[in-house]
Structures are given as C-alpha cells and as structure tokens.
Structure 1
Amino acid sequence: MTNEVIDLGNGLEIHFCLDAADTGAQFTLFKVVIHPNAKVPAAHYHDNFDETLYGLKGTLSLTVDDQVLELHAGDHYFIKRGRIHSFTNQSDETVEILAYANPGVFTSNYFKDILGVLKAGGPPDMARMKQIMLQHGLVPVANH
C-alpha cells in the first residue's frame, strides 16, 4: 500500500494513503496538510471524478460554486464532478483534511508533476501548471 508524502514546499503536504494501483482504480485516498498562508490550487473543477473532503484538524475555508463554508474537524463535504471549488487556510493553525477521489483516476502523479514545476526555480510556469491540471482531470477556472 502507498504511504508516500509529497511536500510541495509551499505550505501544502500531500500524504497518499491509497493510490489507484492499491484500489484497482476504484478510488484514491490522501491526507492534505494545509499550513497557514499556504499556496493552494486555483479554483477548479474535476471533469472525471468526484471528491469527498473530511475535516481532521482545524478549520478549512471551502468555496463550492458560490457557496462559502467552513469545514471543521469531523465535518465532510461531497464535491460532485463539474462543481467549481477552491480552499484556503485562513487560520493561524495547520489544517488537515482527508480527500477521497472516485473513481481512482486522480493519482499522486499530479502532485509529483506540480512539484517538478515548483522546483524548477524562479516563478512557476503558470502555463505548464494549467497543462498539468488539465492532464490530470482538473479544469482551472479564472476569476472565481
């Protein structure tokens, strides 16, 4: 089973629990650690998978379509594919959530590809970041 930590170096850590290879592509499961003032993904939607978030620690500010809500420890939220969403940690404490994506088409390779762009030095290549998002089923949404 997967037990891989991907530290994006921007206040986000991804702890993969189960990747597609572990579940026969049924789902992926990973913990996201979001430090205060972390750089988070642009508002986006998924075109080929649903995502469920479960709060483990702290309070996550989550926007889904035009609804703004807080996800606390013990709370959960189902994000159906096609719904625009984004999140931030607006608190002074570290937030942890568990993310369940199904089917298992969203894998740790997305975060590894993003890490490659972030480690290239200088400002991130935003065109390349968008290309990576699209390759992995995330569709960025500008001005949301």
Structure 2
Amino acid sequence: MPDIINFGTLELRFLHSKDDTGGSVDIFEMTLQPNARMPIPHYHDRWDETIYGLSGVSTWTIDGQQTDVGPGASVFIKRGIVHGFTNRSTGPATCLCILSPGVLGPQYFTEMAKLLSAGAPPDPVKMKETMLRYGLVPAPAA
C-alpha cells in the first residue's frame, strides 16, 4: 500500500522509496490543489529530480525560469539548482516526481506535514531545521 501524505492543498502518494529500491530512487505522485505552492524554494546537493506531468498544469520555477508542466511534459532539476512550484490553475494538477538517487523517502514529508498541520502558523526555524536534516537547503530570500 503506498504511503499517502496530506498537506491540505498538497498530497503525495509514494509509489517507491529509498527503502524498497535500495536507495536507487524515490518515486511519488504529487497532487496540487489550486493555489498550492512549495512553502520554501530550495535546492538539494545529493539528488537530481525529474517531474513528469500527469494531469492539470503546475508551474515550476527552476533557477529563476518558469516552466508550465502539463500532461506528458517534464522538467529535470539538477542537484544544486534552486526550485519551487505552484498551481495557478483553477483545477488540481498531478505530476510524477522521481528523485535519483533515492535518499529522501516519505519520512521527510511526514515530518513536514506534522509541522504544517499543528494548528498554529508553521515555525520557520523548525521547518528549516527539518529541511537541512534531510538535505534540502532553503534558498536565500530574494
């Protein structure tokens, strides 16, 4: 049974993780509701990321360039490159996310979901600490 992690406007469904692929890949479906966005643009230096559009349209900002990803479209995010995403459309957008090698797993997303659903505004210090512990480096504010 795939792990499903819900952030409210963002839902992840893990299909494979570092735990069942021997660290080769993490693969998950991500569904963004309208106006959903990545809370903190970031980069990672231990893995590359490929995003493949399944339905709807999400907008990815990669190294300052915006790209719409719809069904059948894809983007590659090389490690070390700052990126973020949003869903500016009026309907949900779903994409397949492939992290290679698989070093993140569902654990990071489970921890972040708990921080974001605590009922109070999220604690930026705790969010940054969690990101850094898992190898995600928050981008400096522009």
TM-score band w.r.t. shorter chain? over 0.9
8 Å contact from structure 2 (residues 37, 85) kept in 1: no
**What is aligned with 1:72?**
70
What stretches of structure 2 of length at least 5 have no aligned partner?
none
Alignment-derived partner of residue 4 in structure 1: 3
Within 5 A, what are the aligned runs for 1:60-139?
A: 60-139=58-137
Please state how far the C-alpha of 1:118 moved relative to its aligned partner.
1.8
The 3-state SS of whatever aligns with 1:83 is: coil
Between the aligned partners of 2:117 and 2:72, the Cα distance in structure 1 is: 34
- The offset of 1:39, in angstroms, is 4.2
| RMSD, aligned α-carbons | 1.1
What whole-Å deviation, never above 9, does each CA across 1:88-140 have from its counterpart, x for those lacking one? 00000100000000111011001111012123221111110011111111111
Report SS of the residue matched to 1:21: coil
Using the aligned pairs only, state the percent identity.
41
TM superposition outliers: structure 1 runs of 4+ over 4 Å: none
* 1:2-56 deviations in Å (ceiling 9; x for gaps): 51111112x0001000011110111110000000012423111011110000000
The runs of 5 or more residues in structure 1 that have no matched partner are none
Q: How many residues end up aligned between the 2 structures?
A: 142
Q: 114-123 or 66-75, which moves further after superposition?
A: 114-123
